[in-house]
Structure 1
Amino acid sequence: MRTFDLIRDAVLPDFRERVADYLIQYESVLLSSTAPDPELRCATANQLRGYLRGLNTTRVLGMADWEELDRRVVNTWL
């Protein structure tokens, strides 16, 4: 399953729509059909990691989910 699909599934149902709106911004860079500038890709991946950490801090995303998703972001884009 794709990383962004996993994120959507891991988020509490009440917040999925709002989170999905934000994820579009990250997806547009990280999953672009043309390779993004390496610095932009790295910066966007780190911003996504911060966003996921924020979701974990506010209990919108569970700890186990956050750890796995963070690992996937690092392994895929950093």
Structure 2
Amino acid sequence: MHYSCINPVLTEENAIIDKGSLKTKKKFAFLLEINDRVTVNRNFYVNDEVDVILDYEYTNSKRPKENIKIYTIHELIRE
């Protein structure tokens, strides 16, 4: 590994989900892949832990809802 910083190219999306339905997994930044969906919009160091979105739910039930921002990785620039 000959880089120390990862600059992702991201697109932002707003999502309305059922409160408490967001499922994430921690992943080291050097393991990020294109099309991963993350919860933060910033540059990473290789050993930073990043929350990657696995799944979330939206139903028509009366469950409380929350509005979250999701960032999809389209390119990874390693410096």
TM-score, normalised to structure 2's length?
Answer: 0.25
By relative contact order (CA 8 Å, sep 6+), the higher-ranking structure is 2
Q: Larger Cα Rg: Structure 1 or Structure 2?
A: 2
Flag the structure with higher strand content: 2
TM-score, normalised to structure 1's length?
Answer: 0.25
